[in-house]
Amino acid sequence: MSVDVVRESAEAGRVVLWEESARDGAQAKTLMSADFRVRLARRTGGMFGADGARHVVFAAGFPAVCAEEYEAVRQVTDEAGDSVSVAAVCRGAVRDVEQAVASVRGAAHPRIMIVVPASEAMARVMTHRTAAEALTIGTELVKRARDLDDSVAVDVCLADAARADNALAGTHAGAMTAAGAGLVVLADTVGGQLPDACGTMFREVAAAAGADTVLASHLHNDLGLGLANSLQALRAGVRVLSAAWLGIAERAGMVATEQLLLLLALHHRELLRPEADLWWTAPDLTHVPGIAADVSRETGVPLTVTTPVVGTGVGTISTGTPFVHPQLFQPYDPAEVLGTRPQVLLTQLASARVVTAVAARLGHTLEREQTTAAMDWAKRRAFRTGQAVIDDDVFAAYLDGLASLPVRSAR
C-alpha cells in the first residue's frame, strides 16, 4: 500500500488544490486535448516545485465517457503522473470503478473519485434509492476499489451534500473512511449554498464523521459564492479545495484556481491563525497568468477586462490619479506577485500624464501644447468610434502626422 500524499498533506494542515478544469470543465462545453491536459497537469504541479503531487490533485477526466476520454486520462497518467496526483472520476457503478482504477494505474500517486448522491432528491434521480441506501452502496464501492488495487487512493464525492442531512452524510463519510476512503468530498452541486450554511455543513459533517475522516470541498458558483464558500470550508478545517482554471465547470462554473491560489498565498494568515503554514512549497504565482492564458486559448473561454487576477484589465492604468499613485488603486502589486507588467493605456479618460507616458512609450517627447492637442484628439476619437482603448499604432500614426505642432522625436 503506497502512502496517500494528499491525505497526509491535508492532515498536516497543508492545502491541496483539486484541479477540475479538465474534468468538470468539460461540462462547461469545453474540451481539452490529451496533450493539453498533460501540459496543464505538469504546469499546475510545477508551481509547487518538487511538491506538486502533494499540493495538486489533477482530475484528468471521466474515463466512462468514451474510449477517447479514457485514453486521455491514460496519457496524463503516463506522461504527467509524477508531476501531480492524477485522479479519474467515475459514477457509483462497479464497471465504472474498475475502468477508473485501470485508467490511473501506474501513476506515482493515482486516485479515483466515486460520485455518490447524498441528498434524498439526488439519490432518487441518480440511483432510484434512498440517500442512506445510496451512501451504503458507496461504502461497498470503496471496498471494491481498494481490493482492485490498493496502490490507488479512493475518494468519494457526496453529490448534492449541500441539501443532504449533515448527520447522515457524516455518519456515512466515517464509514467510507473506515472502508479505505482517502477523502470525502462535499459538493454544493447546484451552487446554491450560502456561506454560513456552507461552514455549518463542513463542521457538522466533520463532527459526525469522526477525526479520521478528511473532508474536501467541491463548490459551484451559480450564485457567485464559490470562492466565499471555499474560504468557509477552509475556516472549518478543510484543506483539500476543488477549483478550476478560469472557474470553468458546469453551468456558472466553480471557484477559479487563480483566484483561490492568490488569496491563499497572500492572505492565509489573515484568513486563519497567524502562524498557519499552508504549503510544503509555496506556489510560484508568476506562472498563473501564462497558464490561464493557455487555458483560455485551449477552451475558448475569454479573459475579459474584469476577470480577476488574470484578466486584461490587471495591471493597466488609464486615468490620472492611479497613474501617479498606482498602489492606492490595487490590492496587490501585479508585477511583484504575478509578474504582470504594468501597462498604461490611452482612452477617453486620459490625463496629460497618461498621454505623455503613452507617447514616450511610442518614442515621442511632447511639448505642453502637443500634449493638450493629443489628449483632445484621443477623447474625440474614442467617442467618435465608440471604442475606449486607442490602439498604439493608431496613436503613433497621429503623433507622426502632427503638422501644426511639430513633435520632437526621441528616435
| Whether residue 340 is found in the same domain as residue 294 | no
- 261 touches 283 (CB < 8 A): yes
**What integer pLDDT is reported at residue 411 of this predicted model?**
42
* β-pair type (408-409, 364-365): antiparallel
| Whether residue 72 is found in the same domain as residue 117 | yes
**What integer pLDDT is reported at residue 77 of this predicted model?**
98
| Whether residue 247 is found in the same domain as residue 319 | no
Nearest to residue 221, comparing CAs of 204, 202, 243, 206? 243
| Whether residue 288 is found in the same domain as residue 329 | no
**What integer pLDDT is reported at residue 409 of this predicted model?**
47
**Number of folded domains in the chain?**
2
Is 111 part of a structural domain of the chain? yes
Is 304 part of a structural domain of the chain? no
| Whether residue 366 is found in the same domain as residue 233 | no
DSSP-based three-state secondary structure for 350: coil
**pTM summary value:** 0.92
List the grid coordinates of 297: 486559448
What CATH number is given to the structural domain containing 181?
3.20.20.70
**What's the N-to-C CA distance of the chain in angstroms?**
68
Which element (helix H / strand E) includes 323? helix 320-324
| Whether residue 67 is found in the same domain as residue 193 | yes
Domain finish residue from 299, 329, 354: 299
Q: Which domain holds residue 393?
A: 315-411
| Whether residue 163 is found in the same domain as residue 253 | yes
| Whether residue 198 is found in the same domain as residue 340 | no
| Whether residue 336 is found in the same domain as residue 364 | yes
Is 305 part of a structural domain of the chain? no
Domain finish residue from 274, 299, 324: 299
Give the whole-angstrom CA distance, residue 348 versus residue 320. Answer: 12
Is 308 part of a structural domain of the chain? no
| Whether residue 261 is found in the same domain as residue 395 | no
What DSSP assignment string belongs to 211-272? TT--EEEEEB-TTS-HHHHHHHHHHTT--EEEEBGGG-SSTT-B-BHHHHHHHHHHHHHHHS
Domain finish residue from 250, 274, 299: 299
Per-residue pLDDT of the chain (411 residues; tens, 9 = 90+): 679 999 999 999 999 999 999 999 999 999 999 999 999 999 999 999 999 999 999 999 999 999 999 999 999 999 999 999 999 999 999 999 999 999 999 999 999 999 999 999 999 999 999 999 999 999 999 999 999 999 999 999 999 999 999 999 999 999 999 999 999 999 999 999 999 999 999 999 999 999 999 999 999 999 999 999 999 999 999 999 999 999 999 999 999 999 999 999 999 888 887 778 899 999 999 999 999 999 999 999 999 999 999 999 998 888 877 777 777 788 888 989 999 988 999 999 999 999 999 999 999 999 898 999 999 999 999 999 999 999 999 999 999 877 455 545 444
Give the whole-angstrom CA distance, residue 155 versus residue 7. Answer: 10
Is 310 part of a structural domain of the chain? no
| Whether residue 253 is found in the same domain as residue 106 | yes
Calculate the alpha carbon distances from 226 to 217, 232, 261 in Å: 10, 10, 14
Is 134 part of a structural domain of the chain? yes
| Whether residue 330 is found in the same domain as residue 232 | no
**What integer pLDDT is reported at residue 407 of this predicted model?**
47
